[in-house]
């Protein structure tokens, strides 16, 4: 690795979650489940749901980007590129990144979408970093998912897991030794059989039959996904630590995808990372897919110090997985953290 290469750094974080809270008690009235069962097996207590009519993932993403631009005092027309990671695009085309650009008022540069399920934000972040390394000056990476649009609220195995949210970061060239240092990103198409949305693509186009068979909702084989998720994230973290001769004491924060508290605890146990140094907010938001990692960075922004070493890690359908090693590039903002609208 060329230590003198141009490096990308995160210079700001924004987020948005909808105002409506769907609690475990609410789900008890919808499916055969209980607050105790959900909490014990997932760590989730509540999740946010976008209930406003005629809204989509782009609306979540646009609110996160607006906050990011405001916090960083960035003119929308300074943005060279917007990359949106999402598992729930507004439409198959045009892509959600360009819809977000339009809703925010970004008229310069270009945008595109990345689909890698829950690993999407990491894939998009590494892609955005490469564009900065190759000469772009300001790149926004968004993770936005309206998971409620593909959740079957009669399926107690999946409806308890997911929520709606968006998070966004601004990438700019680094002028010091902070920024995105390295990544391990991997995938294996055999995972398509265990976590997927069957209907709606070219393989199973939408028909009366696909709708009647409820094929437009998310499906997962939980035990298999759990096993591969733990192994994938652990191995990718190990590769980064070995490559950079890092011990657990060299890392200030681990930022895992918020899929299941048991997965997060497994990562903690395997590396002996205390949970106090692992960002966890799954109890409040559930699994927001591509939004979980930037949502964590947003919530912990005031605790991050310039130079802090972070490892971001995720696993998603496909299968996709990986980790990113970075050094945080700024101290806590002088002004009080700006909350996403409707967050208490």
Distance CA 102, CA 21 (A): 28
Cα dihedral 189, 192, 193, 198 sign? negative
Contacts of 343 (CB under 8 A, 6+ apart): 17
Closest CA to 153 of 5, 27, 272: 27
The angle, 0 to 180 degrees and rounded to 10, between the axes of the packed helices 96-104 and 57-72 is 50
Distance CA 133, CA 5 (A): 7
260 labelled catalytic:
no
SS3 173: strand
H-assigned helices in 113-162 = 120-133
What are the structure tokens assigned to 121, written together?
């934000």
Among 84, 118, 159, 296, the one annotated catalytic: 118
Among 84, 98, 159, 257, the one annotated catalytic: 257
287 labelled catalytic:
yes
Among 84, 159, 287, 296, the one annotated catalytic: 287
> Do the Cβ atoms of 164 and 18 come closer than 8 Å?
yes
296 labelled catalytic:
no
What are the structure tokens assigned to 261, written together?
């508290």
> Do the Cβ atoms of 286 and 162 come closer than 8 Å?
yes
Catalytic residues: 118, 257, 287
């Amino acid at each position: 690795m060329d230590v003198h290469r141009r490096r990308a750094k995160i210079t700001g974080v924004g987020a948005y979650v909808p105002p409506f809270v769907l609690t475990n008690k609410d789900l008890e009235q919808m499916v055969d489940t209980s607050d105790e069962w959900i909490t014990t097996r997932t760590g989730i207590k509540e999740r946010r749901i976008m209930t406003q009519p005629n809204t989509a993932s782009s609306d979540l993403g646009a609110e996160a980007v607006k906050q990011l631009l405001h916090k960083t005092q960035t003119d929308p027309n300074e943005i060279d590129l917007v990359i949106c990671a999402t598992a729930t695009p507004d439409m198959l085309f045009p892509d959600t990144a360009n819809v977000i650009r339009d809703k925010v008022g970004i008229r310069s540069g270009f945008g595109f979408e990345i689909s890698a399920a829950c690993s999407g934000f990491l894939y998009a972040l590494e892609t955005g970093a490469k564009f900065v390394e190759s000469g772009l000056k300001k790149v926004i990476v968004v993770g936005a998912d309206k998971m409620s649009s593909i959740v079957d609220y009669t399926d107690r195995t999946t409806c308890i897991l997911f929520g709606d949210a968006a998070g966004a970061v601004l990438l700019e060239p680094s002028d010091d030794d902070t920024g995105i240092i390295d990544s391990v990103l991997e995938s294996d198409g055999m995972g398509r059989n265990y976590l997927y949305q069957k209907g709606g693509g070219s393989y199973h186009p939408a028909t009366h039959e696909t709708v009647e068979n409820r094929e437009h909702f998310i499906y997962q084989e939980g035990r298999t996904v759990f096993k591969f998720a733990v192994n994938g994230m652990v191995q990718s973290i190990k590769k980064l630590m070995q490559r950079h001769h890092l011990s657990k004491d060299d890392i200030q924060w681990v930022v895992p995808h918020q899929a299941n508290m048991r997965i997060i605890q497994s990562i903690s146990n395997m590396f002996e990372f205390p949970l106090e140094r692992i960002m966890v907010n799954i109890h409040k938001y559930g699994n927001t897919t591509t939004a979980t990692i930037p949502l964590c960075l947003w919530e912990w922004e005031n605790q991050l110090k310039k130079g802090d070493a972070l490892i971001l890690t995720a696993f998603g359908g496909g299968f996709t997985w990986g980790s990113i090693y970075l050094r945080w590039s700024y101290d806590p903002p002088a002004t009080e953290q700006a909350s996403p609208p409707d967050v208490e």
